[in-house]
Structure 1
């Protein structure tokens, strides 16, 4: 009996299915596509130990106008995905993931591992 070949695309598509199933679980409120991109950007920078301020985020043209970014950050804070931490300069706040957001990434990681296992 031969084992069927699994294409890399099949693994990725299985991951997408598993990740989509997470959306149905009771956890944090759903993010819109722009908020998902912002969350991923914050997470990648946190992983690299890069600090991001609200001003840094508002300067990212790929996320839209500063007003759009500011409103999305506010929305994501209200939904429980992000928090703002104080710095030495009280006028400047650092954007950080909440513990709930970190748990969400843990679940996505599990989905990826399970998809690769088949």
Structure 2
């Protein structure tokens, strides 16, 4: 019988394997948290602006968040798109980031199959 912990550990092994493949540059832990937040917001069909993100105290100071967003844009994980208010930019996942999540999803499926 497979324990849930075994499935999770297999998933971690599979994700390590895809991290070694050439794709997007890696993210630091704060960037990973930001990416997860952007992904969840996208999944919920909600909008997330740079201003919204910088107001999230749990992620650090506005300067820290701004620096990470800039880094993530340069690495190809996120893009900023215009809104009806040209002063506000919406944060969106790039196609490459969506493909990364597709790969993780396949790892999860594969891990459950044993």
Structure 1 residue 98 corresponds to structure 2 residue 94 = yes
Q: Which of the numbers 104, 109, 118 marks the counterpart of 2:105?
A: 109
Q: Which runs of 4+ in 1 moved over 6 A?
A: none
Superposition pairs of residues 1-118 of structure 1, within 5 angstroms: 5-118=1-114
Deviations 1:71-113 (A, max 9, x none): 0000000000000000011100000000000000000000000
**TM-score after normalising by structure 1:** 0.95
**TM-score after normalising by structure 2:** 0.98
Of residues 55-64 and 92-101 in structure 1, the stretch that sits farther from structure 2 once superposed is: 55-64
Matched residues in 2 for 1:108 and 1:66: separation? 30
Which structure has the greater CA radius of gyration? 1
Number of positions where the alignment pairs a residue of Structure 1 with one of Structure 2: 114
Q: CA deviation at 1:22?
A: 1.3
Instruction: Structure 1 unaligned segments of length 5 or more: list them.
Output: none
Matched residues in 1 for 2:14 and 2:55: separation? 34
Instruction: Structure 2 unaligned segments of length 5 or more: list them.
Output: none
